[in-house]
Structure 1
Amino acid sequence: MQLREFFRGVGEVTRLLLSLMRFRNCVIGFLGVLVGASFTYSGFGVFLSPDVFTAGLAAFLIIGAGNILNDYFDIEIDKINKPNKPLPAGRISKSDALMLSIILFLFGVGLSKLVNHYILYLAALNTVVLILYATYSKRLLFVSNLVISYLVASVFVFGALTNVRSIASLDDSVFTVLSVLVLCSFLMTLSREIIKDIEDVKGDKYKYAQTLPVRFGTSTARKVAALFTLLAVLSSLLPFILYVGLFNLVVYAVLVGLADMVFLASMFMPEYIAQRAIVGGMLISLFAFLLGDITSKISV
């Protein structure tokens, strides 16, 4: 009986921790590192090397730490917009959440040091950016959206740098495909962040937050989000125009075409559904780039 209670308690704590960290976002970040690493691996087995796994785990922890810290500063807004989240619901104290965030940041940056100095520098930079974002994001019109978009896009660079000993050694075609991935990710995240701001407009107005929907209205904000969606879809076509070496354009075309249809459809969905559809489309896009790269190397 005591053993059963122990495991039940462990399960509850684990669920609380994963909810605080936003487990889905952390997993997507981990997968993003794997996708980025696929572009710079140099042979069978290196792609899923201990260094790549360590970098992915570091990203997982740093993203989780940033999410917890963001909830720490947004607790009053979340009491209105998302009262069932762990902090506003009182399932964990603010001080415990802050301590947990600090611990995860330290472990994440510490793990990155084990990979290489590029990874360490980027992890340290993104940690500082996440702390500044959590502290000031609601006061900076549109800047907060840009910051989150940068952080998401940087995950792929984080992964690519895992297998790099010198940036100068990067192949031009690899750099091109990676740049397209980063650009598409940046633009679609920007669109999704604006849509999320529309969802949160009630609580943001209450706390005088400076977001596009609060300042210019939800209709204008939705049009801006649609513009960035269209730019992302157009950017996804760049591999068909630019030199991408052995990158498998057939596999890429099938998957990215599906993702683009999801993105375009999201422009006509309610905000609650749209931002989740965008996440689904981004996952499909990840596999478009990953399989486009890996299948080309297998065929060689």
Structure 2
Amino acid sequence: MMMTLTGYLKVVRPVNAFVSGLTAALAVLIATGRLDGPVPLLIAVVTLITGAGNVINDYFDYQIDQVNRPNRPIPSGTVSLAGARRYAILLFIVGVLLSFGTTPLCALLAVFNTLLLVLYAARLKAVPLIGNLTVSYLAGSIFIFGGALSGTTGELITLPIAAITFLGMVARELLKDGEDIEGDRAGGARTLPMLIGVQKTGWVAFLFALAGIGASFLPYLTWGQEYLVLIALPDLLILAGALQGLRSVDSTTLRNSRATLLLKGGMFTALAAFTASALIL
């Protein structure tokens, strides 16, 4: 019994899910400069729906994980396929029901993201570029959740941040696919680098990263010139990562370039810049 309970805890990836919930709360802080309203409820909604998405993703990846990640709860047998399906449905339902205690826009977003998470796991994940766009939207939408709890003014502040997250995530996801091209090919996956090559994928990622840097200037309208100082380092890291990806001709040079690490660092420092701007500017 304990082994099964441990499996059900692990399959939601609790740290990942809870960090998503805390990020939504951080989005409220960025939007308003304080944590007012049903923020704990929002954390619960985002945590539950993210956790459910992790479960349903592992449910549809069961056969692949049997080979690549046999120690995960479903292929290892600590969580059954039927149990995982029921568990995901339960978490989705509870998350959506709780969202009705927040705001209408949050509730609408909870329903939409729930449907998209299922569609992503079942179909879109295997579609080149579309899968990357979907998972990047889902990451960026956490900031939309926070803005939606804060009303129209809050949404206007968090939408550019969601856009920056989305565009930066697309660039990083594409380069990660470029790094993993051999393993993906062996596993029967279809990714953009497999279709057009690592070098051309680097160009696509570069354009998304540039768009993200462009979007990062939008909060200047709210926070002024001091914000531009804070966002300079994140933008430089994102640009450096994108340029490293652009110079990579194959998966080996791409991995050695540390492009995805630079992009990740840029996105984390951008989040710190947004938070600092909301609190001090």
TM range (shorter): 0.7 to 0.9
C-alpha separation in 2, matches of 1:23 and 1:66: 12
1:59 aligns with 2:46: yes
Could you give the per-residue CA deviations for residues 235-275 of structure 1, whole angstroms, max 9, x where no partner exists?
223334xx32xx2642x445433323332343436289544
Q: Could you tell me how far apart the structure 1 residues matched to 2:180 and 2:255 are?
A: 13
Say whether residues 1:130 and 2:117 are aligned partners.
yes
Q: Which structure 2 residues correspond to residues 1-300 of structure 1 after superposition, within 5 A?
A: 9=2, 13=5, 16-17=7-8, 19-41=10-32, 47-49=34-36, 51-164=38-151, 167=152, 170=153, 175=156, 177-206=157-186, 208-240=188-220, 243-244=221-222, 247=223, 249-250=225-226, 252-267=227-242, 268=244, 270=255, 274-296=259-281
Contact kept, 8 Å, 1:21 with 1:65, in 2: the verdict is yes
Letter in 2 for 1:291: A
Shift of 1:197: 2.5
* Code of the aligned partner of 1:101: A
Q: Deviations over 1:182-224 (max 9, x none)?
A: 2211101111221332344345434543320222223322332
Shift of 1:181: 0.9
Deviation at residue 28 of structure 1 after TM alignment:
3.9
Cα distance, 1:40–1:228 mapped onto 2, change above 3 Å:
closer
Residues 78 and 203 in structure 1, CA contact (< 8 A), matched pair in contact too? no
Unpaired runs of at least 5, structure 2: 245-253
Runs of 4+ in structure 1 deviating by more than 6 angstroms, as ranges, are: none
Structure 1 gaps, min length 5: 1-5
Cα deviation, residue 21, structure 1:
2.5
Q: 1:86 is aligned with what amino acid? A: P
Q: Per the alignment, in what secondary structure is the counterpart of residue 115 of structure 1?
A: coil
Would you say how many aligned residue pairs link Structure 1 and Structure 2? 271
Deviates more, 1:32-41 or 1:108-117: 32-41
Asked if the contact 1:248–1:295 (Cα under 8 Å) also holds between the matched residues in 2, the reply is: no
Cα pair 1:259 1:284 within 8 Å, conserved: yes
User: How far apart in 2 are the matches of 1:71 and 1:182?
Assistant: 26
Whole-angstrom CA distance in 2 between matches of 1:97 and 1:199 = 30
Q: Which amino acid aligns with 1:36?
A: A
Q: Which amino acid aligns with 2:149?
A: T
In the alignment, residue 270 of structure 1 is paired with which amino acid? Answer: R
- Equivalents in 2 of 1:161, 1:68: separation in Å? 26
Structure with greater proportional helix content:
2
- Tell me: CA distance 1:180–1:118, structure 2 relative to 1, closer, same or farther (3 Å): closer
